[in-house]
Structure 1
Amino acid sequence: MLLLGIDIGTSSVKVSVVDAESQKALASAQYPDTESPIISLQLGWAEQSPDMWWDQTQQALQLCHNSGAYNPQDIAAIGIAYQMHGLVLVDKNQEVLRNSIIWCDSRAVEYGDRAFAAIGEERSLSHLLNSPGNFTAAKLAWVKENEPKVYAQIDKIMLPGDFIGMKLTGEVTTSVSALSEGIFFDFKGNGLSEDVMNFFGFSEELIPTINPVFSAHGTLLPTVAEKLKLKAGIPVAYKAGDQPNNALSLNVLNPGEVAATAGTSGVIYGVSDQLAYDPQSRVNTFAHVNYTDEQKRLGILLCINGTGSLNRWTKSLFGTNISYAQMNEQAKQVPAGSNGLHVLPFGNGAERMLCNKLIGVHFHHIDLNMHTQSHIFRAVQEGIACAFRYGLDIMRSNGMNPTVIRAGKANLFLSDLFAETFVNVIGVPVELYKNYGSVGAALGAGIGAGIFSSPAEAFRGMEKVQVIEPAQTDFESVYQEWKVLLDKQLIAEQQIEEATN
Structure 2
Amino acid sequence: MLLLGIDVGTSSIKVSVVDAQSQRVLQSVQYPDNETEISSPQPGWAEQSPEMWWEHVGIAIQKINASGLFNPADISAIGIAYQMHGLVVVDKKQQALRDSIIWCDSRAVKIGDDAFNAIGEDKSLSRLLNSPGNFTASKLAWVKQNEPDLYSRIDKVMLPGDFIAMKLTGEITSSPSSLSEGIFWDFEHEELSEDIINYFGFDKGLFPEVKPVFATHGCLKADVAERLSLRTGIPVSYKSGDQPNNALSLNVLEPGEVAATAGTSGVIYGISDQLFSDPKSRVNTFAHVNHSVNDRRLGVLLCINGTGILNRWAKNTFGNNLSYQEINQQAASVSVGANGVRILPFGNGAERMLGNKLIGAQFHRIDFNLHHSAHLFRAVQEGIAFAFRYGLDIMRENGMNPTVIRAGKANLFQSELFAEAFVNSTNVPVELYHNDGSVGAALGSGIGAKVFSSEKEAFLNVKSIKLITPTMTEQYEPVYDDWKRILEEQLTIK
Fold match by TM threshold 0.5: yes
State the number of aligned residues: 493
User: Which whole-Å CA distance do the structure 1 matches of 2:258 and 2:312 have between them?
Assistant: 26
Query: Are the equivalent residues in 1 in contact too, given 2:319–2:327 (CA < 8 A)?
Result: no
Alpha-carbon offset, residue 318 of structure 1: 2.4
User: Which whole-Å CA distance do the structure 2 matches of 1:353 and 1:132 have between them?
Assistant: 14
1:373-452 matched pairs, under 5 angstroms: 373-452=373-452
Alpha-carbon offset, residue 35 of structure 1: 1.1
User: Which whole-Å CA distance do the structure 2 matches of 1:213 and 1:168 have between them?
Assistant: 17
Report what 1:13 is aligned to. 13
User: Which whole-Å CA distance do the structure 2 matches of 1:86 and 1:59 have between them?
Assistant: 22
Whether 2:276 is the aligned partner of 1:276: answer yes
User: Which whole-Å CA distance do the structure 1 matches of 2:131 and 2:97 have between them?
Assistant: 27
User: Which whole-Å CA distance do the structure 2 matches of 1:374 and 1:22 have between them?
Assistant: 43
Residue deviations 1:283-319 (CA, integer Å, cap 9, x gap)? 0000000000000000000000010000000011025
1:162-201 matched pairs, under 5 angstroms: 162-201=162-201
Report what 1:156 is aligned to. 156
| Segment drifting more, 281-290 vs 65-74 | 65-74
Secondary structure of 1:5's counterpart equals strand
User: Which whole-Å CA distance do the structure 2 matches of 1:415 and 1:57 have between them?
Assistant: 28
Alpha-carbon offset, residue 65 of structure 1: 1.5
1:49-448 matched pairs, under 5 angstroms: 49-319=49-319, 321-448=321-448
Counterpart of 1:149, as a letter, is D
What is the aligned-residue identity percentage? 68
Counterpart of 2:335, as a letter, is P
Alpha-carbon offset, residue 320 of structure 1: 5.5
Secondary structure of 1:278's counterpart equals coil
| Segment drifting more, 29-38 vs 157-166 | 29-38
Query: Are the equivalent residues in 1 in contact too, given 2:14–2:438 (CA < 8 A)?
Result: yes
Residue deviations 1:67-98 (CA, integer Å, cap 9, x gap)? 21100010000000000000000000000100
Counterpart of 1:327, as a letter, is I
User: Which whole-Å CA distance do the structure 1 matches of 2:252 and 2:350 have between them?
Assistant: 28
User: Which whole-Å CA distance do the structure 1 matches of 2:429 and 2:65 have between them?
Assistant: 38
Alpha-carbon offset, residue 420 of structure 1: 1.1
User: Which whole-Å CA distance do the structure 2 matches of 1:321 and 1:484 have between them?
Assistant: 34
User: Which whole-Å CA distance do the structure 1 matches of 2:320 and 2:169 have between them?
Assistant: 40
Secondary structure of 2:42's counterpart equals coil
User: Which whole-Å CA distance do the structure 1 matches of 2:228 and 2:363 have between them?
Assistant: 47
Residue deviations 1:392-423 (CA, integer Å, cap 9, x gap)? 00000001100000000000001111111111
Report what 2:48 is aligned to. 48
> What RMSD, in angstroms, separates the aligned Cα atoms of the two structures?
0.6
Secondary structure of 2:466's counterpart equals strand
Residue deviations 1:353-412 (CA, integer Å, cap 9, x gap)? 000000000111111111110000000000000000000000000011000000000000
User: Which whole-Å CA distance do the structure 2 matches of 1:75 and 1:213 have between them?
Assistant: 20
Structure 1 residues 320 and 450, CA gap change in structure 2 (3 angstroms): farther
Q: Unpaired runs of 5+ in structure 2?
A: none
User: Which whole-Å CA distance do the structure 2 matches of 1:467 and 1:231 have between them?
Assistant: 41
User: Which whole-Å CA distance do the structure 1 matches of 2:374 and 2:24 have between them?
Assistant: 37
Report what 2:465 is aligned to. 465
Counterpart of 1:345, as a letter, is P
Residue deviations 1:192-230 (CA, integer Å, cap 9, x gap)? 100000000000000000000000000000100001100
Alpha-carbon offset, residue 47 of structure 1: 0.2
User: Which whole-Å CA distance do the structure 1 matches of 2:390 and 2:416 have between them?
Assistant: 21
User: Which whole-Å CA distance do the structure 2 matches of 1:189 and 1:434 have between them?
Assistant: 38
Secondary structure of 2:38's counterpart equals coil
User: Which whole-Å CA distance do the structure 2 matches of 1:196 and 1:45 have between them?
Assistant: 23
Secondary structure of 1:42's counterpart equals coil
Secondary structure of 1:286's counterpart equals strand
4+ aligned runs moved over 2 Å, structure 1:
none
Secondary structure of 1:483's counterpart equals helix
Secondary structure of 1:474's counterpart equals helix
Secondary structure of 2:300's counterpart equals strand
User: Which whole-Å CA distance do the structure 2 matches of 1:231 and 1:144 have between them?
Assistant: 40
User: Which whole-Å CA distance do the structure 2 matches of 1:83 and 1:24 have between them?
Assistant: 25
Alpha-carbon offset, residue 463 of structure 1: 2.5
Residue deviations 1:39-78 (CA, integer Å, cap 9, x gap)? 1011100000000000110111122122211000100000
User: Which whole-Å CA distance do the structure 2 matches of 1:134 and 1:446 have between them?
Assistant: 33
TM-score (norm 1): 0.98
User: Which whole-Å CA distance do the structure 2 matches of 1:466 and 1:351 have between them?
Assistant: 31
User: Which whole-Å CA distance do the structure 2 matches of 1:173 and 1:320 have between them?
Assistant: 46
User: Which whole-Å CA distance do the structure 2 matches of 1:106 and 1:150 have between them?
Assistant: 20
User: Which whole-Å CA distance do the structure 2 matches of 1:127 and 1:243 have between them?
Assistant: 22
